[in-house]
Amino acid sequence: MKLKHLVVAALVVSSMSAMASEVNVYSGRKEKLIKPLLDRFTEQTGIQTNLVTAKADKLLTRLKNEGRNSPADVFITVDAGRLYRAKQAGVFASIDNPVLNDAVPAHLRDPQGQWVGLSQRARVIFYAKDRVKPSELSTYEDLASEKWHKRICIRGSSNIYNQSLVASMIAADGKDAAQQWANGIVKNMARPPQGGDRDQIKAAAAGQCDLAVANTYYYGKMLTSKKDKVQLQAARAMGLFWPNQQDRGTHVNISGAGVTKYARNRDNAIKLLEFLVSPEAQKWYAEVNFEYPVREGAEVSELVKSWGDFKSDKLNLDVLGRNNAEAVRIMDRAGWK
């Protein structure tokens, strides 16, 4: 009996820390892109935040295995495909919160309220201004046509942004057409896929290819790069084209977050999500990382404004997740490295 008391006492002490007012965050977003917001949240509310950042897929594995004892209250990640995986893994709780529902349009939220988008990113076509006229460009579909033979730079098939792009092609055109498209893209690649999004823009600027597919915020970061002249000049040599404006709109993806199923600080977790979609936090994303806010009417930076308004694909992002595995298989079959 005595032993039992001792054990319990020891364990009570060891778990005291859980009682302080705090919220624990697992983040697939990098520290630099989330910590400042968390600090601001702590300033406003007095709620302490604890953070682990890592690759989202691996954090999800950790979260899943920790089960009901996981310390995580909030899981943040980029790409709808990953949010879908988290939902499938059953780690999220369904939240029906009026503040979130009002701030975020329905197609950027999970239908069951398991995750909510925090920022939008568009995947677009960049063209070398001295070699390509924007009038030659039209849609993603057109990138597979023969006129672009060996003229396109795009990164590898392991990259989730490309997986989600192909997933959106499946949703728009069907599996077979998406396969044909991927085959065509592989034929049109100027070089085997390599590097990240910025590398595609740099290679196109340097003349290795004429078109590059990349997310807009990389372009923004390159244009504002004070120290790296190569990046700055490369970005200046490239123009931004919004594909599919005549039909479904440009493919967008999100960063998003959900409250975990076994969150111990559930109220704080919801408060954090509310904060992240507040006008202040939304503005920060647009200004620091050149992303698009999910909140309608939130301000964007001057630079982002200068790229013009665009029509975005209103496909519910849940679909990207559902099509992900098929997208990977399509790319494998096409020989997309």
Partner 1 sequence: MARLWQPGIVLVALLLSIPALTIAGFVFEPSGENWQHLKQTVLPDYLENSALLALGVAIGTLGIGVSTAWLTAMCRFPGKRYFVWLLLLPLAMPAYIIAYTYTGMFDFAGPVQSAIREWTGWRYGDYYFPEIRSLGGAITMLSLVLYPYVYLLARAAFLEQSICVLEVSRTLGCNAWSSFYRVALPLARPAIVAGLSLALMETLADYGTVSYFGLGVFTTGIFRTWFGMGDSVAAAKMSAMLLMFVFTLVIIERLSRRQAKYHHTTNKYTRLPEYPLHGMRAVLAFVVCLLPVAAGFLLPAGQLLAWALQTWEEMVDASFIKLTLHTVFLGLGTALLSVMLALFLAYGRRVLKSRTVFVSIRVAAIGYAIPGTVIAVGVIIPFAWLDNTLDGWMREHFDYSTGLLLSGTLFALVFAYLVRFLAVSLQTVESGLDKIKPSMDDAARSLGYRPRETLKKVHMPLMKGSLLTALLIVFVDVMKELPATLILRPFNFNTLAVRAFELASDERLADSSTAALMIVLVGLLPVIYLSRSIAQSRAGST
Which chain residues interact with partner 1 by CB under 8 A? Answer: 4, 7-8, 11-12, 15, 18, 24, 30-33, 50-55, 57-59, 61-62, 65-71, 85, 88, 155-158, 160, 163, 192-199, 202-203, 205-208, 218, 221, 227-228, 230, 234, 324-325, 328-329, 332-333, 337
What distance in Å separates the CA atoms of residue 134 and residue 239, rounded to the nearest whole number?
8
Which residue, 53 or 282, is less far from partner 1 as judged by CB?
A: 53
Closer residue to partner 1 (CB): 53 or 250: 53
Distance in angstroms (rounded) separating the CA atoms of residues 101 and 105: 7
Distance CA 179, CA 174 (A): 9
Residue closer to partner 1, measured from CB, 60 or 143? 60
Residue of 194, 107, 209, 123 whose CA lies nearest to 162? 123
Q: How far is the CB of 38 from partner 1 (least distance, A)?
A: 11
Q: Comparing C-alpha atoms, which of 118, 119, 244, 110 is closest to residue 169?
A: 244
Task: Considering the complex, state which of residue 104 and residue 317 has its C-beta at the smaller distance from partner 1.
Answer: 317
**105 or 192, CB closer to partner 1?**
192
Spatial contact of 188 and 152, defined as CB atoms under 8 Å apart = yes
Instruction: Tell me how far, at minimum, the Cβ of 126 lies from partner 1, in Å.
Output: 13
- What whole-number distance in Å separates Cα of residue 333 and Cα of residue 337? 10
Sign of the torsion formed by the C-alpha atoms of 337, 176, 187 and 80 = negative
DSSP state, residue 238: E
Minimal distance in Å, beta carbon 68 to partner 1? 7
